[in-house]
Amino acid sequence: MGGDVGIPATVPAALAFLERNPAATLLLVGQSPLIDKALEQYKPRFASVDLDRIQVQHAEEVVSMDDSVEVALRRKKDSSMRVAIEAVKAGDAQACVSAGNTGALMAISRYVLKTLDGIDRPAIATDLPNQTGGATTVLDLGANVDCTAEHLLQFAIMGTALAQTSPSGALPSVGLLNIGEEIIKGNDVVKQAAELLRHSPLNFHGNVEGNDIFKGTVDVVVCDGFVGNVVLKSVEGLAHMLGSMIREEFYRSTLTRLAGLVVRPVLNRFRRRVDNRRYNGAALLGLRGIVFKSHGSADDYAFRHALQRAHDAAAIDLLDRISSSVLALTSHQDRSA
């Protein structure tokens, strides 16, 4: 029900996701008359999808993008967001995906699910494309503006668990976002975090700068939520600008259009690489349940990718990975003491 688009994005995205994941099932939470109507509307586009793989759970209320955290948490206890998160807690769903109010989603998730042992604060993490053809996991993206060095260490643990998909089991490399690579750079919190990371069992690369995110220098980049949110919004703005420039240049003149026909396959591949919709879906890490936040402006293509990311996180037992990583770090610290 959430986001700028709502059902016209989420329902066709759900059907597209099921089409690509034959073993998956979905629980759609919201105002059931509207959801049922949309399923009938979009079903002809996805004829191969069995609607029995979809369960609709009614929720009377909807958290709006303008609702305060207090309203969402205290007054709208039958909201689609609250009911969906409670389904994760009850074990009726393995993950929750929402395009709704970010602050409300974080507050309700933390209240209902609680945090994992050893994690003080949840963090928001997502993947950003890099020039190696892969992606760099970046966190925190806005959940925690003021962080301690210990919080940044915990973010590194959770980011490592999220990025660790290699069959070899190799630990992803971690970089600490800073204004320079030298160990003397940064404020006191960043310097203290670097010291903690150097003495942790994580694969700590060292300090990295903003351009390293897109070079693919490391697998995981850690920062506080203030810096991370600025990075994310800058990337989104750059992606939109590049897309507009490509379209504008393509239609500028007859000669340009003719040249564009020749290079169009290359341009299309480039646009797909920088299309931020392909990387939609930010994980709320550190909770006793899997929750993913879709961008509020997501269309059906973008929301389908958020569903896929949540599905993949459940498939790799993300919660167990984070818990095991925290336990390993605690044991390491005890041995070092």
Report the distance separating Cα 132 and Cα 279, nearest Å: 15
Q: What is the pLDDT of residues 256-289, one digit of tens each?
A: 655 555 555 655 554 555 567 888 999 999 999 9
Lowest mean pLDDT among 51-60, 144-153, 163-172, 322-331: 163-172
Considering the domain architecture, whether residues 236 and 125 belong to the same structural domain is answered as: yes
User: Contact at 8 Å (CB) between 208 and 178?
Assistant: yes
How many whole angstroms separate alpha carbon 210 and alpha carbon 165?
A: 24
Q: Which helix (H) or strand (E) holds 39?
A: helix 32-42
Question: How far, in Å, are 3, 66, 90, 132, 176 from residue 8 at the CA level?
Answer: 11, 20, 28, 34, 39
SS3 118: coil
Residue 325 inside a domain? The answer is no
Q: What is the percentage of the chain residues whose pLDDT exceeds 90?
A: 73
* Residue predicted with more confidence, 170 or 222: 222
Q: How far apart are CA 122 and CA 140, in angstroms?
A: 9
Q: Give the Cα separation of 289 and 11 in Å (integer).
A: 23
* Total of domains in the chain: 2
The b-or-e profile of 265-293 (16+ CB within 10 A means b, else e) is: eeeeeeeeebbbbbbbbbbbbbbbbbbbb
Is pTM beyond 0.85? Reply is yes
pLDDT for residue 247: 58
Per the DSSP assignment, residues forming a β-bridge with 123 are 285
Helix (H, G, I), strand (E, B) or coil at 129: strand
Q: Are residues 167 and 96 in the same domain?
A: no
Q: What is the 3-state secondary structure (H, E, C) of 73-117?
A: HHHCCCEHHHHHHHHHHHCCCCEEEECCCHHHHHHHHHHHHCECC
| 55 shares a domain with 165 | no
Q: Taking residues 101-112, report their average pLDDT.
A: 95
Residue 124 is part of which domain span?
Answer: 120-279
- Cβ atoms 154, 121 nearer than 8 A: yes
172 and 235 co-located in one domain: yes
Higher pLDDT, 317 or 337: 317
Confirm whether 335 is domain-assigned.
no
Instruction: Compute the chain's Rg from CA coordinates.
Output: 21
Is residue 334 assigned to a domain?
no
179 plus 252 within the same structural domain? yes
Chain-wide mean pLDDT for the chain? 89
260 in the same domain as 165: yes
Whether 153 is covered by a domain: the verdict is yes
pLDDT at position 166 is 56
pLDDT in tens, 185-239: 999 999 999 999 999 999 999 999 999 999 999 999 999 999 999 998 888 777 6
User: Angle, to 10 degrees, between the axis of helix 300-315 and the axis of helix 7-20?
Assistant: 50
Domain end (from 248, 279, 310): 279
The answer to whether 62 touches 30, Cβ cutoff 8 Å, is yes
Pairwise CA distance, residues 100 & 3, whole Å = 5
Judged by DSSP in three states, 228 sits in helix
**147 and 261 within one domain:** yes
- 11 is a domain residue: yes
pLDDT at 306 over 90: yes
228 with 300, same domain? no
Q: Same domain for 22 and 35? A: yes
Residue 304 sits in a domain of what CATH number? Answer: 3.40.718.10
What integer is the mean pLDDT of 62-89? 96
